[in-house]
Amino acid sequence: MSVTAIAYTKFAVSDSDAMREFYCTALGFNHGTRIEEGEGDNAFVENFIGVGPQQVVLIAYKNRPAPAPGESYLALMVEDVDASLAAIEKAGGTITMPGLDIPEHKLRMGYATDPEGHVIELMHLDS
């Protein structure tokens, strides 16, 4: 048996609704399905956001803490690293590493954090 596709990536946050608005505003993700289910320790809110067929699910457990910022990264390919960093900062995030060229990989990259402190890695491949 083998994997046929990756359905989506789940990213644990403290406030799924607030982070949905941040990612849609800062980086142009599209709003998708919102699910609120479960009881007790299993109560959660999920927000599906996406770009084309690729989706990220922002999950927040109502009665459990989110992982500490830095335990996972959201790595994104973007059209313009510097413009994306500026949009993240304008929407309430923080630039942690300005755009940097890495010529040996034909890559420009930069880092930022969302308002909860989760790392966003931005990359653009030069042709």
> 39-64, pLDDT tens digit by residue?
999 999 999 999 988 899 999 999 99
Which residues, including other chains, have CB under 8 Å from residue 117's CB and lie 6 or more apart? Answer: 69, 70
Domain ranges within the chain, ordered by starting residue: 9-125
Q: What is the pTM of this model?
A: 0.87
pLDDT tens sequence across 67-97: 888 788 888 999 999 999 999 999 999 999 9
Taking domain 9-125, whether its CATH number is 3.10.180.10 is answered by: yes
E strand or H helix at 20, and its extent?
A: helix 16-27
Which residues, including other chains, have CB under 8 Å from residue 105's CB and lie 6 or more apart? Answer: none
CA 96 to chain centre: 15
Pair of tokens at residue 101: 């060229």
Strands 44-51, 119-125: pairing is unpaired
